[in-house]
Amino acid sequence: MNAISLSPADLAIAGSLVAFDALLSVLLRLGLHRQVLWAAGRMVVQLVAVGYLLRFVFALHHPAATLAIVLVMSAIAAREIAARPERKLKGWAGLALSAGGVAIATVVTVGLALLTAIRPHPWYDARYAVTLVGIVLGSVLNAGSLSLDSLLGGVARERSAIEAQLALGASFHQATARLLREAIRRGLLPIINQMSAAGVITLPGIMTGQILAGLDPLEAVKYQILLMFLLAGASGLSALMMAYGALRRLTDERQRLRLDRLRE
């Protein structure tokens, strides 16, 4: 790969576009200039820090370093999923559920890619493992939080409908099947949109990045297809685990609806 290396001056010229946004905000009195500049500055600091961190971790060539960084990223994603829904589970249940869902969805999909398609040597090479986990976690987070929000909101909203079915002898599974389906659907919509738009409406970021970095477009496309499949799998697993796990938590051994396990 013969990537065109960017100099600080190149970035500064592009950065003038952010200054233009800020100027626009001042002229049109949008009240956004502070936010725009702050967000841009924050983005630069975060990315530079991550760049140095990744360079450091890649140089270590140690499975423990790879594992540690993957665990930190997964923990942050799990916390985000648990915090996102409007209605939340009480206590540690929400966090335990999202941590389990994130772990399974990520390990299954990234593990599959590392053991079959990409096969780096060694397989835990941080250059591949950390990058893949980072991409997959985005979809896990998106699908999982949408699915969980839909399920918890739906159960709280449909309480009288669920209990009316239970009172007539329906199983908890029957009484909530529609809400489960609805939640998983919600979780899968973003990846379906992403796949149908890929290449037509949007050029996916990974692919454009690789092409800019000098890779042959068809090679870049193959990578992107592989990634989309991974993201689709991760989204499905995440949506399923969150919705199903939350339902399990909202019932008990006598198949009651336990809304007392939701926070007010």
Partner 1 sequence: MSPDAPRLRLRGLRSPLAGPFDLDLAAGECLAVGGPSGSGKSLFLRMIADLDPNGGEVALDGMPRPAMAAPDWRRRVAYVAAESGWWRDTVAEHFAPATHAPARALAERLGLPDELFDGPVQRLSTGERQRLAIVRALVLNPPVLLLDEPTGPLDPASIGEMEAVLTARLADGVAMIVVSHDPAQAQRLGARRREMRERRLEAAA
Identified binder of partner 1 from the candidate list 102, 220, 257, 262, rule CB under 8 A:
257
Identified binder of partner 1 from the candidate list 35, 196, 202, 255, rule CB under 8 A:
255
Q: Give the total residue count for the chain.
A: 264
Q: Does 37 bind partner 1 (CB under 8 A)?
A: no
CB of 256 to partner 1, least distance (A): 6
CB of 159 to partner 1, least distance (A): 8
Render the burial of 113-138: b for 16+ CB within 10 Å, e for the rest: bbeeebeeeeebbbebbbbbbbbbbe
Q: Does 254 bind partner 1 (CB under 8 A)?
A: yes
CB of 167 to partner 1, least distance (A): 4
- Count of residues binding partner 1 (CB under 8 A)? 22
Residue list 142-161, contact with partner 1 (CB under 8 A): 158-161
- C-alpha–C-alpha distance, residues 147 and 240, integer Å: 8
What would you report as the CA-atom Rg of the chain, rounded to the nearest whole angstrom?
A: 22
CB closer to partner 1 out of 89 and 241: 89
Q: CA of 128: how far to CAs of 17, 66, 113, 124, 249, in Å?
A: 33, 10, 10, 8, 35
Q: Does 248 bind partner 1 (CB under 8 A)?
A: no
Residue list 161-180, contact with partner 1 (CB under 8 A): 161-171, 175, 178
CB closer to partner 1 out of 62 and 178: 178
Q: Does 140 bind partner 1 (CB under 8 A)?
A: no
Instruction: Choose the stretch contacting partner 1; rule: CB under 8 A; options: 15-23, 196-204, 226-234, 250-258.
Output: 250-258
Q: Does 91 bind partner 1 (CB under 8 A)?
A: no
CB of 255 to partner 1, least distance (A): 4
Q: Does 264 bind partner 1 (CB under 8 A)?
A: no
CB closer to partner 1 out of 33 and 185: 185
Q: Does 200 bind partner 1 (CB under 8 A)?
A: no
Amino acid occupying residue 36: V
- C-alpha–C-alpha distance, residues 70 and 231, integer Å: 17
CB of 175 to partner 1, least distance (A): 8
Enumerate binding residues for partner 1 (CB under 8 A). 158-171, 175, 178, 252, 254-258
